[in-house]
Structure 1
Amino acid sequence: MNENSSRYKRVRGVDKFMTGVFYGIGGFFILLLIVLAAYIIVKGITSIYPGVFSFTSMGIGNQFFNTIYLVFLSLIISVPLGVAAGSYLAEYARKGRLTEMITMSIEALSSLPSIVVGLFGYLVFILMTGMKWNLLAGAMAVTILSLPAITTTTRDALAALPAHYRSGSIGLGATRWQTLWHVLLPACVPRIITGVILVAGRGFGEAAALLYTSGQSTVLNWANWDITSPTCPLNVFRPGETLSLHIWVMRTEGSMNPHSVEIANVSSMVLIIMVLGFSLLARYLSRKLDEKNKGAAK
């Protein structure tokens, strides 16, 4: 009895110690994130000057719009494709070598360096099509980087659902497609949105892949809404420099600009706030949809 008691105390002590270690590691990374974000935001605030948020060559308004627009274009392409691919792998694909090969290819694609994707995008979307740098090519490059994460997240979310979700729906007479569309995917929405948040954050901060595809120039006329015009903000076939690229340009080639350092600092601050705001909004919507689904289930 004494031996069991001492062993129990030793196990409890080890458990408490390791719990403290893991809490310490988690707290360290949270603190590091807070300090880094606070430093960037403070540097950005202190670098604000009149006209920095304008839609002129001395401001970052055009680059801010390009960033939002490019990520939006990327998501409307990658989310349907990624969810469809993940659903196929989880619900329809037969277990075998072909499925394993597809899964391995997706995992390999997710580890590709963004500069390689940028060069591939430059070859396929620019040189082979005969076009100049444009937003659509940049969105396609970001889509290539985003697809593996959305596909894997969807597949894992569907595979993790309890079996009674499927059996209950099919037992009520629903087809496999109806079960997937009306039961399984709604139950996976929170996890899928998490994947979308991750890929959107990567899209906001991507620079290497866009360097060779979307270009480093932006000439917009906000009074021109002819979508075929190269100066129309909504034209997807025009060059579009994003905030992440603008930061790089201001710290390298943009040294002739008298406000290059300030512009880079403010751009970094806006990028951090934008990613944080998007993440909070997406998680709020995810929680609301999850509560709605649980309420409907009751």
Structure 2
Amino acid sequence: MKAKVIDKLWTVILYIVSILVVALLAMLIIYILYTGRNCFDINFLFGDPKIGEAGGGIAPQLFNSFYMLIVSLSISVPFGIGAGIYLSQYAKDGFWVRIIRASIEAIAALPSIVVGLFGLLVFVNMTGWGFTLFGGALAITILNLPALTRVSENAITAAAEGIKEASLGLGATKWQTIWKVILPTAFSQILTGIILAAGRIFGEAAALLYTAGMSAQHLNFGVANILTGKSPFSLFRSAETLAVYIFQLNSEASVPDATKIASGASAVLIIMVLIFNIGARILGKKLHEKYTGKNN
């Protein structure tokens, strides 16, 4: 009886703690959305900043955030999943594999400001590129690769336990088994890692301050040549993201209504992360059901 009482007591405590954590998170989101309710204004979302004047919008920063997300994930996802496949299915435990794992753990523990300073030294100064969107994407890739690699490795290892031998027994090659059987089964878990990486891209500021820069140019979508720095799709132009813009507004107050714009930009950032996370989870669930046959 004493054990049952203790079990019920701790169950109640854990429920209370969980409810408090969820309530705190909900209140934080509601507060940010309320203070930044001006974010629902079309002119705010699609207007350009007006330095030194009241008003303006966040269109360049919003575009840069999405573009930074696409470029960074285009680099980090293939390398992260590839590293996870190698460590899970091909690598044999030994000296070099232990070195690789230790390096992954070391990079995962690096503060983003250190990665930013490394990016400033290598991607800005040594390459001669200056502050560029591509340099920022490479810095973010360094931050995200360890987490993506570990998530991919764990997901592939777990998915392979019950189906790898069956696939090989039916005559499939090792690569066919990985590509057509294991990866689809592990996709929902891998997608969770990609979601976490995307959230870090949206919210990262320290690393991008030293690599992508703090200036946002007017976006002229009439320039088709992406090799010129005047094109919005150029990788070698300065690109101030939404998180960096929020930092700039709160630290420099370059416009009279900096607090209002920063609150609106913060609300947009929260909404972007929520939409991306919810959408990706729904997509991951649908794809998982499709490949595992659970929707039949």
Q: Does the alignment reach a TM-score above 0.5?
A: yes
Amino acid at match of 2:224: W
User: 2: distance between equivalents of 1:50 and 1:83?
Assistant: 38
Q: Is the 8 A contact 2:39 2:268 kept in 1?
A: no
Aligned to 1:135: 133
- More moved, 219-228 vs 177-186: 219-228
1:37 and 2:26 are equivalent in the alignment: no
Amino acid at match of 2:230: T
Displacement of 1:106 after TM fit? 0.7
Q: Is the 8 A contact 1:47 1:262 kept in 2?
A: no
Percentage of pairs with the same residue: 44
SS at match of 2:44: coil
Q: Is the 8 A contact 2:151 2:193 kept in 1?
A: yes
Q: Is the 8 A contact 2:214 2:238 kept in 1?
A: yes
Displacement of 1:97 after TM fit? 2.5
Gaps of 5+ in 1: 1-8
Aligned to 2:289: 291
Amino acid at match of 1:89: L
Aligned to 1:269: 267
Displacement of 1:262 after TM fit? 1.1
User: 2: distance between equivalents of 1:212 and 1:89?
Assistant: 32
How many aligned residue pairs are there?
289
TM-score, normalising length: structure 1: 0.93
User: 2: distance between equivalents of 1:258 and 1:146?
Assistant: 36
Correspondent of 2:9 among 17, 41, 56: 17
**Alpha-carbon RMSD:** 1.7
User: 2: distance between equivalents of 1:50 and 1:16?
Assistant: 52
Amino acid at match of 1:38: I
Aligned to 2:81: 83
- More moved, 218-227 vs 102-111: 218-227
Q: Is the 8 A contact 1:186 1:293 kept in 2?
A: yes
Aligned to 2:68: 70
Gaps of 5+ in 2: 50-55
Aligned to 1:28: 20
Aligned to 1:5: none
Which consecutive segments of 4 or more residues in structure 1 shift more than 4 A?
A: 46-50
Q: Is the 8 A contact 2:39 2:265 kept in 1?
A: no
Q: Is the 8 A contact 2:35 2:264 kept in 1?
A: yes
Q: Is the 8 A contact 1:125 1:131 kept in 2?
A: yes
TM-score, normalising length: structure 2: 0.93
- More moved, 275-284 vs 40-49: 40-49
